């Protein structure tokens, strides 16, 4: 089945540094969703990207969908301690419902 | 709205025991699903349902059963627990055909099988 590879697995940054996580697939992604999971919590939806080359921003977070729809990235500018958690990308596989295939996630640690 | 609720929050089982993880949502979502989360492996889909009376297998269905008799409830049954089923289990729900197709997750059940 569809596999979504996410890198890096871990990222440690100093507060104020930038952070990027990448999501890659060998096949075309229908659309990509991003979730954040705080330590001990549950995944929370951040955004969904559908169009080739799409770029969306949410305050300090920038999400991109590759031109070939085979990769996506999440970039956080000037990290804060509140950004700590695991960030997941997920492919919806072309369904009209939420049958998601998740990447392995990137665990972000922010040192004050 | 309570959103997606899961019970219990924590559970310890012995190998071979059976149990049911409960999931309920009050948002009238057609789609419901179960994931398990293991370190370094992301979330993997166990079973899903697109409406009452309709269920299907996900990526890792072995050892688990589901049923969907109502729109609100989607219980996950472990028939004979094994140590490999030690994991965190999340239930999620959403509307069908909506954009964005946001999945709403429950708080999770942390299961240990000894």
| % of chain B with per-residue pLDDT over 70 | 100
Q: How does residue A2 score in pLDDT terms, banded at 50, 70 and 90?
A: low
> Which among B42, B94, B106 has the least Cβ separation from residue A102?
B42
- For the stretch B33-85, pLDDT in tens is 999 999 888 899 999 999 999 999 999 999 999 999 999 999 999 999 999 99
Beta strands in chain B (DSSP E): 4-7, 10-13, 19-25, 31-37, 43-51, 54-57, 64-66, 76-78, 87-94, 104-105, 109-113
Q: How high is the pLDDT of residue A101?
A: 93
Q: Is the pLDDT of residue A42 over 90?
A: yes
B60 touches chain A (CB under 8 A): no
DSSP state of B82: -
**Mean pLDDT of all residues in A92-107:** 87
Determine contact: B59 vs chain A, CB below 8 A.
yes
Length of chain B: 114
Q: So what's the pLDDT on residue A1?
A: 55
In three-state secondary structure terms, B57 is strand
The reply to whether residue B92 touches residue A98, judged by beta carbons under 8 angstroms, is yes
Q: With contacts defined as CB-CB under 8 Å, which chain B residues touch A102?
A: 35, 42-44
Burial environment of residue A59 by CB neighbours within 10 A (0 to 12, 13 to 18, 19 or more):
exposed
Q: Which residue of B has its CA nearest to A86?
A: B42
Residues 53-112 of A with CB under 8 A from B: 88, 90, 92, 96-105
Contacts of B108 in chain A (CB under 8 A): 42
The tens digit of pLDDT for each residue in A48-98 reads: 999 999 999 999 999 999 999 999 999 999 999 999 999 999 998 877 777
Where are the alpha helices (H) located in chain B, listed in sequence order?
none
């Amino acid at each position: 089945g569809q596999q979504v590879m996410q890198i890096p697995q871990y990222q440690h940054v100093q507060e104020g540094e930038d952070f990027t996580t990448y999501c890659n697939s060998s096949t075309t992604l229908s659309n990509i969703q991003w979730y954040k999971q705080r330590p001990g919590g549950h995944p929370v939806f951040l955004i969904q990207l559908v169009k080739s080359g799409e770029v969306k921003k949410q305050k300090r977070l920038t999400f991109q969908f590759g031109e070939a729809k085979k990769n996506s990235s999440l970039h956080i500018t000037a990290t804060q301690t509140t950004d700590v958690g695991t960030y997941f990308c997920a492919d919806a596989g072309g369904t009209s419902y939420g049958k998601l295939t998740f990447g392995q996630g990137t665990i972000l640690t922010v040192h004050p | 709205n309570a959103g997606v609720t899961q019970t219990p929050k924590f559970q310890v089982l012995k190998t071979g025991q059976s149990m049911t993880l409960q999931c309920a949502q009050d948002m009238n979502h057609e789609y419901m699903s179960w994931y398990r989360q293991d370190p370094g492996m992301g979330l993997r889909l166990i079973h899903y349902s697109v409406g009452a009376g309709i269920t299907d297998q996900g990526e890792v269905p072995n050892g688990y059963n589901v049923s969907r008799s109502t729109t609100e409830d989607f219980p996950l049954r472990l028939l004979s627990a094994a140590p490999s089923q030690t994991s965190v289990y999340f239930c999620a729900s959403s509307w069908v055909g909506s954009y964005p197709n946001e999945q709403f997750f429950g708080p999770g059940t942390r299961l240990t099988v000894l």
